[in-house]
A and B are shown apart, each in its own frame.
Chain A
Amino acid sequence: MKVKVIGIPVHDQEKALKFYTEKLGFLKKIDIPLSEGNRWLTVVSKDEQDGAEILLEPSPNHFEPAKVYQKALFDAGIPYTQFNSEDVQQEYDRLSNLGVEFSMKPTEMGTVKIAVFNDTCGNNIQIVQML
């Protein structure tokens, strides 16, 4: 078995696509129309285009428990998932300049440095750098 796709629940797929590509710098990989305006929509890291795909899935709009779970994590400040970065401080500066809101500024925690931002689609996302 291989890890190929990792889902992130989003309220609005088009808005999520804009955020993940225009702000985070990911690339759109797959975009297949499904029923009722939903899409099988994935993005990948520019640096790892054959790596795992992030599926921007509209589950909070269709499955109440997904919506409740996502909101509970968000309200507690808990990241839904995390991405690796070579330099968290640099990424924090870059994203802050683009207007991205951080609930946790770059913070050292032992052998890693982390920061947490709002993806504007209902999730906190953590970026992590191995020190």
Chain B
Amino acid sequence: MTFYQKEISRIKNICYSNKSQIDRVVGTRHFIIHNFEKELNLSLLSRVRCTSKFHLLRLYKLYYGQTPKQYLIEKRLEAAKQSLGKGLSITDTCYEIGFESPSSFSTLFKARFGLSPKEYQKKATFTKSNHS
């Protein structure tokens, strides 16, 4: 067994010994992955995993280093790139991925990728036509 394998095993025992907590946060993440376009909030997510809102929030942050909401936004914005790349309008993309207003969607998109959805779409179309 290498030094790295020993360290992995040691850290696993210290940090990841609570299987039920891990199953709970992994299940929450999978629920977000499969339902990100729907209206999700902490109350709903905590009901799905039969736990309190604050316990779920604390556990999720502990194991993933971010809140469920931060992950949800990340997931939606990644999906937005796909939709915009396929040529969907900004408004249609916004509603398809679960955001409620195109302006908040555009603000979040620009903050995350450094380009507005429109600029991103223009660049994606240009790149595609250059590759073909």
**When the two chains form their complex, are residues B2 and A109 in contact, meaning their CB atoms are under 8 A apart?**
no
List chain A residues, Cβ under 8 A from B111.
none
Most chain B CB atoms below 10 A, which of A50, A103, A109: A109
Are B4 and A131 in contact, with the CB atoms below 8 A? no
Instruction: Say yes or no: is B48 at the interface (Cβ < 8 Å to chain A).
Output: no
**Which B residues lie within 8 Å of A130 (CB)?**
29, 64
Other-chain residue from A103, A110, A131 in contact with B2 (beta carbon distance below 8 A): A103
How many A-B Cβ pairs are below 8 Å? 42
Contacts of A114 in B (CB 8 A): 8
Interface of B is mostly: helix
Write out the residue numbers on chain B whose beta carbons fall within 8 Å of the beta carbon of A109.
8, 11-12, 16
Stretch at the interface among A57-65, A76-84, A87-95: A76-84
B8–A110 CB distance below 8 A: no
Contact A77–B64 (Cβ < 8 Å): no
Q: How far is the CA of A79 from the CA of B2 in the complex (A)?
A: 11
Could you tell me how many residues of chain B have their Cβ less than 8 Å away from some Cβ of chain A? Answer: 16
Q: A109-B12, A110-B15, A111-B64 are in contact. Are A78 and B4 (CB under 8 A)?
A: yes
With A131-B26, A131-B29 as known contacts, state yes or no: A110 contacts B16, CB within 8 Å.
yes
B94 interfacial contact with A, CB 8 Å: no
Q: Given the complex of chains A and B, what is the CA–CA distance between A92 and B107 in angstroms?
A: 39
Q: Cβ of A50: which chain B residues have Cβ within 8 Å of it? A: 127
Interface residues of A (CB under 8 A from B): 50, 76-79, 103-104, 107, 109-111, 114, 116, 124, 130-131
A-B CB proximity, top 10 nearest: A77-B2, A110-B16, A77-B4, A76-B3, A78-B4, A111-B63, A131-B26, A109-B12, A110-B22, A76-B4
Given A76-B3, A111-B22, A131-B29, 15 other A-B residues pairs in contact with their CB atoms under 8 A: A76-B2, A77-B4, A77-B5, A78-B3, A78-B4, A103-B4, A103-B5, A109-B11, A109-B16, A110-B16, A111-B16, A111-B26, A111-B63, A116-B4, A131-B26
